[in-house]
């Protein structure tokens, strides 16, 4: 399995015992992020560190701890 095949995302969710809505997928490829979103994950298209930090903070994730 390889990205962006949805089966790789579903397999990973099973292995991690996680629900799609509990997962944030980060990638620099739009097609891969779109595939993750397609299975119900949150997705972030990484372009630079500042926008990533801003996005994560908006989700309420504390990067300091």
Percent composition of the chain: helix, strand, coil (DSSP 3-state, to 5): 50, 10, 35
| Confidence class for position 62, pLDDT limits 50, 70, 90 | confident
Has residue 63 got a pLDDT over 90? Answer: no
Measure Cα distances from 24 to 10, 27, 36, 47 in Å.
Answer: 13, 10, 9, 16
The model's confidence at residue 64, banded by pLDDT at 50, 70 and 90, is confident
Look at 65 and 23; give whichever has higher pLDDT. Answer: 23
| Tokens describing residue 55 | 């996005």
Predicted TM-score of the model (pTM): 0.89
pLDDT average, residue stretch 2-7:
96
Cα dihedral sign for 57, 47, 44, 11? negative
**Please, what CATH class does the domain formed by 6-58 belong to?**
alpha beta
- Per-domain residue ranges for the chain? 6-58
């Amino acid at each position: 399995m390889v990205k962006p095949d949805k089966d790789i995302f579903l397999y990973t969710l099973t292995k991690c015992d996680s629900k799609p809505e509990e997962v944030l997928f980060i990638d620099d490829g739009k097609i891969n992020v779109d595939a993750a979103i397609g299975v119900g994950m949150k997705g972030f298209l990484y372009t630079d560190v500042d926008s990533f930090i801003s996005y994560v903070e908006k989700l309420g994730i504390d990067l300091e701890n």
